[in-house]
Copies of this chain bind each other. A is one copy, B any other.
């Protein structure tokens, strides 16, 4: 499978690394909006300006879109699904139905496959919510995130006056998690599910009291949470907080039996040292599916719900049944 990627940020570099772990996949080209000459990559793929992308329709089998969900993907995925089999990690949950319809229309026009919202949430977490709901119709769903770095919240702190740099961790509340796993079916408020921990580097002369206040009262981002703020040096931030770990869990508890006397807990748990590298690994598995589905004559938009698991694996059905069933 010949792969192209559009965008060379954390996700694009993650795909480049993950390709090396998949012997049936080759990274052929990196498309960029920058001047290709200024972009140094870590593989033998060609670096090509985005304006040339239409010349590549016969040279790659799947294009992985590594842009952001806010402005890049809503435009790029429908646009390029006409020309290529595409996979994206669109994660604005509320706009997924609209995005799906846009991609579906143009993928069908082009006779291509467009798989949207691939990654772990949306993605693997969605799959687990869906399987668990189909199996236990009477029950309750919970999703916890963390411990991990929220890029959005870290960015929000960086925009505060007096802040030089910052990292924000989302942390699930242990007691809430335990109540869920014990089938107590708690009703949890936002504050009861997660806490937020911030590591902040101040600019010279900035007032820590003011900054802390600005963080803790920020609507949407922090005001509904119990937030801890630590002021540290830039050196310490770089030394101890340069990773991008994340993770979390999806739990469904449900009941069965003549009198609903039996409890069941289905839990799916991820602990990831690198959020973008893991997401990239999921993207490659679904790129394989896009390629195969299209070879079989399918087209249109798909999500993780629509794709039989076997399409993700390089192994044959026979091998899978023998080794993994």
Contacts and interface: CB of A to CB of B under 8 A. Distances in A.
A256 B322 contact: no
A285 B272 CA distance: 31
Contacts of A307: 308-309
Given A126-B324, A126-B325, A131-B309, A18 B96 contact: no
A258 B274 CA distance: 12
Interface string A36-58: 00000010000000000000000
Interface string A14-44: 1001100110000000000000000000100
Q: How large is the interface on A (under 10, 10 to 19, 20 to 34, 35 or more residues)?
A: 35 or more
Nearest to A138: B21
B321 A100 contact: yes
B310 A317 contact: no
Contacts of A320: 130, 303, 305
Tallying the copies of this chain within the complex gives: 2
Interface in A252-288: 256-258, 261-274, 277-278, 280-282, 285, 288
Nearest to A16: B258
A137 B21 contact: yes
A279 to B, nearest CB: 10
A205 interface: no
B305 A305 contact: no
A237 interface: no
A96 B322 contact: yes
A306 B312 contact: no
A256 to B, nearest CB: 4
The interface centre, meaning the residue of A129, A261, A288, A306 with most chain B CB atoms within 10 A of its CB, is A306
A135 B282 contact: yes
B262 A277 contact: yes
A124 interface: yes
